Amino acid sequence: MPRIALWSVLVPLFNVAVHSAIFVFLRDSALPPVLYAILAILWGVGGVYSIYWSFNWVIEQYSDVWKRRIQPFLFIGPAIGLLAWLLLIPTIRTFIMSFQDASSSKFVGFANYAAVFTNRLLLTALRNNLLWVVFGATACIILGLLIAVLADRSSFERLAKIIIFMPMAISFVAAGVIWKFIYYYQPGDEQIGLLNAIVVHFGGDPQAWTSMTQPWNNLFLIVILIWMQTGFAMVILSAALKGVPEDILEAARMDGAGEIRIFFRIIIPFISGTLLSVTTTVIVFTLKIFDVVMVMTGGQYDTEVVATQFYRQFFMYQNFGYGSTLAIVLLIAVIPVIVFNLRQIRKQGEI
- Sequence ranges of the domains in the chain: 1-103, 113-350
Q: 139-188 pLDDT, tens per residue?
A: 999 999 999 988 888 778 888 888 888 888 888 888 988 998 898 888 77
Please tell me the predicted confidence (pLDDT) of residue 273.
Answer: 83
C-alpha span between 106 and 98 (Å, rounded): 11
* Through-space distance between the first and last CA atoms of the chain, rounded to whole angstroms: 46
pLDDT above 80 (res 2): no
Mean pLDDT of the chain: 85
pLDDT above 70 (res 350): no
Q: Which of 318, 288, 310, 320 is nearest to 136 (CA)?
A: 288
Please tell me the predicted confidence (pLDDT) of residue 1.
Answer: 55
CATH among 3.40.50.1370, 1.10.3720.10, 3.40.50.2300, 2.60.40.10 for 113-350:
1.10.3720.10
Q: Residue 348's pLDDT band (boundaries 50, 70, 90)?
A: low
Arithmetic mean of pLDDT, 203-208: 84
pLDDT above 90 (res 121): no
Q: 264-293 pLDDT, tens per residue?
A: 888 888 888 888 889 888 988 888 888 889
Q: Using CB atoms within 10 A of its CB, is residue 113 exposed (0-12), middle (13-18) or buried (19+)?
A: middle
Q: How much of the chain, in percent, has pLDDT values that exceed 70? A: 98
Please tell me the predicted confidence (pLDDT) of residue 285.
Answer: 85
Task: Give a three-class secondary structure readout of the chain.
Answer: CHHHHHHHHHHHHHHHHHHHHHHHHHHHCCCCHHHHHHHHHHHHHHHHHHHHHHHHHHHHCCCHHHHHHHHHHHHHHHHHHHHHHHHHHHHHHHHHHCCECCCCCCECCCHHHHHHCCCHHHHHHHHHHHHHHHHHHHHHHHHHHHHHHHHHCCCCHHHHHHHHHHHHHCCHHHHHHHHHHHCCCCCCCCCCCHHHHHHHHCCCCCCCHHHCCCCHHHHHHHHHHHHHHHHHHHHHHHHHHCCCCHHHHHHHHHCCCCHHHHHHHHHHHHCHHHHHHHHHHHHHHHHCCCHHHHHHCCCCCCCCCHHHHHHHHHHHCCCHHHHHHHHHHHHHHHHHHHHHHHHHHHHHHHC
Q: Residue 351's pLDDT band (boundaries 50, 70, 90)?
A: very low
Q: Residue 349's pLDDT band (boundaries 50, 70, 90)?
A: low
Q: Name which residue leads in pLDDT, 53 or 214.
A: 53
C-alpha span between 336 and 287 (Å, rounded): 12
Q: Work out the angle at residue 91's Cα, subtended by the Cα atoms of residues 90 and 92, and round it to the nearest 5 degrees.
A: 90
Using CA atoms, how far residue 246 sits from 153, 242, 265, in Å, is 13, 9, 15
C-alpha span between 221 and 23 (Å, rounded): 48
Q: Bridge-partner residues for 100, per DSSP?
A: 107
Arithmetic mean of pLDDT, 45-66: 84
CA 300 to chain CA mean position, Å? 24
Arithmetic mean of pLDDT, 20-47: 86
Please tell me the predicted confidence (pLDDT) of residue 11.
Answer: 83
Q: How much of the chain, in percent, has pLDDT values that exceed 90? A: 12
- For residue 215, say if its preceding peptide bond is cis, omega within 30 degrees of 0: yes
pLDDT above 70 (res 242): yes
Least confident range of 9-23, 58-72, 232-246, 279-293: 58-72
Q: What is the gyration radius of the CA atoms in the chain, in angstroms?
A: 27
C-alpha span between 98 and 103 (Å, rounded): 11
pLDDT above 90 (res 88): no
C-alpha span between 107 and 73 (Å, rounded): 39
